[in-house]
Amino acid sequence: MTLSLNPNRLPPDSHSSQLQIAPHRWPGLIQAYWPYLPVSDQTPVITLMEGNTPLIPVPSIADRIGKSVQVFVKYDGLNPTGSFKDRGMTMAISKAKEAGAEAVICASTGNTSAAAAAYALRGGMRAFVVIPDGYVALGKLAQALLYGAKVLAIQGNFDQAFDMVCQSAEKYPVTLVNSLNPYRLEGQKTAAFEIVDALGDAPDWLCIPVGNAGNITAYWMGFCEYHAQGRCDRLPRMMGFQAAGAAPLVTGEPCPHPETLATAIRIGNPANRDRALAVQAASQGAFNAVTDEEILSAYRLLAAAEGIFCEPASAASVAGLLKVKEQIPVGARVVCVLTGNGLKDPDAAIKHSQNQVHQGVEPNLASLATAMGF
């Protein structure tokens, strides 16, 4: 991995006068990928040290495919607010700060709102987040509230919230930090850099959940940039997966009433639709739908067989890989993106776990031993 540390551009709280960065200390993705990002000495870096998330081999998933494939997950749920959104938000908020913004706004199925709230707070800006009432996982809502955002719940879905925030950003002094904000994708493309840095080349396939279609666009930007710089020899096929009840890129038309238990990707009219279609064409990729049942079984499998807890929407990448496994070439290297942490949605975990709390253990050793089966 090449880090281009610029000691003059450290976050304000890093005591740069006594700067001593241990070689293993990750500086946050803006610092790490400085030459690849639209930043300058005028950009105040607002960071929570996001990025540098692990690429974890998942042999039990590979075994289910056979054909000597290698499968990894990019566990982006280990970012500071628990999702890949932090990658985009460090850039969007830093650039908003640079431009003198005092407030930001986003529509969100939950993760964007948590990231926007955290980074805005860190940058001394107000955050307004508009969410579909009743369809945001508990952990995400808790984060946005605790980070101090103004959380505005509408009786409508994400697509309606998105239209509203776009209009607000035109009319009021608030900067839009949804993925139409170009800096979001600039930050998010660094996940592709990290994958290439870890593997030494791009994978054959990149499997990714798709909602508003910003992330698939960002990954492709990242792979293409690295390829143009000679940092990888190949480009992956981009395999996007949507929930069957919210699959406009699969059906080819907007879905007016999206429904899925993977609430993060409960989106019927993706803002980045055209860009995502261009990615599909350029990478010879595909969009496929996975049912909620398939999502849940991949979600449980990742936890039970690999010890990896992601949120349901994230498991769509693995569910999708398993669904189209016949198409995978022998010996292929595949990366599935796990976009969000399982702790975001504890309700889903408890509801859909096949394991249960063993109730009624008396507070004595005999009772415990009996319950343990000894």
What residues line the site for ligand F0G (CB under 6 A)?
83, 85, 108-112, 179, 209-215, 264-265, 311, 313-314, 339-340
Pick between residue 10 and residue 308 the one whose CB is nearest to ligand F0G.
308
Question: At its nearest, how many Å lie between ligand F0G and the CB of residue 77?
Answer: 8
Pick between residue 9 and residue 76 the one whose CB is nearest to ligand F0G.
76
Pick between residue 85 and residue 97 the one whose CB is nearest to ligand F0G.
85
Question: At its nearest, how many Å lie between ligand F0G and the CB of residue 195?
Answer: 16
Pick between residue 193 and residue 220 the one whose CB is nearest to ligand F0G.
220
Question: At its nearest, how many Å lie between ligand F0G and the CB of residue 372?
Answer: 36
Nearest Cα to Cα of residue 256 among 245, 271, 265: 245
Pick between residue 10 and residue 335 the one whose CB is nearest to ligand F0G.
335
Pick between residue 10 and residue 319 the one whose CB is nearest to ligand F0G.
319
What stretches of the chain adopt beta strand conformation (E)? 55-57, 70-75, 103-107, 126-132, 150-154, 175-176, 205-209, 237-243, 286-290, 333-338
Pick between residue 72 and residue 135 the one whose CB is nearest to ligand F0G.
135
Give the other-Cβ count within 10 Å of 53's Cβ: 23
Give the other-Cβ count within 10 Å of 271's Cβ: 21
Pick between residue 69 and residue 107 the one whose CB is nearest to ligand F0G.
107
CA contacts within 13 A on the Cβ side of 172 = 12
Question: At its nearest, how many Å lie between ligand F0G and the CB of residue 235?
Answer: 19
Q: Rounded to an integer, what distance in angstroms lies between the CA atom of residue 259 and that of residue 279?
A: 25
Question: At its nearest, how many Å lie between ligand F0G and the CB of residue 161?
Answer: 9
Question: At its nearest, how many Å lie between ligand F0G and the CB of residue 340?
Answer: 3
Token digits of residue 253: 């038309």
Question: At its nearest, how many Å lie between ligand F0G and the CB of residue 3?
Answer: 26
Question: At its nearest, how many Å lie between ligand F0G and the CB of residue 72?
Answer: 17
Q: Rounded to an integer, what distance in angstroms lies between the CA atom of residue 299 and that of residue 297?
A: 5
Q: Rounded to an integer, what distance in angstroms lies between the CA atom of residue 110 and that of residue 309?
A: 18
**Amino acid, res. 222:** G
Pick between residue 52 and residue 260 the one whose CB is nearest to ligand F0G.
260
Pick between residue 37 and residue 310 the one whose CB is nearest to ligand F0G.
310
Q: Rounded to an integer, what distance in angstroms lies between the CA atom of residue 93 and that of residue 116?
A: 8
Question: At its nearest, how many Å lie between ligand F0G and the CB of residue 67?
Answer: 27
Q: Rounded to an integer, what distance in angstroms lies between the CA atom of residue 132 and that of residue 270?
A: 15
DSSP-assigned states of every residue in 145-202: HHTT-EEEEESS-HHHHHHHHHHHHHHSS-EE-STTSHHHHHHHTHHHHHHHHHHSS-
- Residues counted in the chain: 374
The SS3 of residue 266 is: coil
Question: At its nearest, how many Å lie between ligand F0G and the CB of residue 341?
Answer: 9
**Amino acid, res. 1:** M
| Percent helix / strand / coil, the chain, rounded to 5 | 45, 15, 40
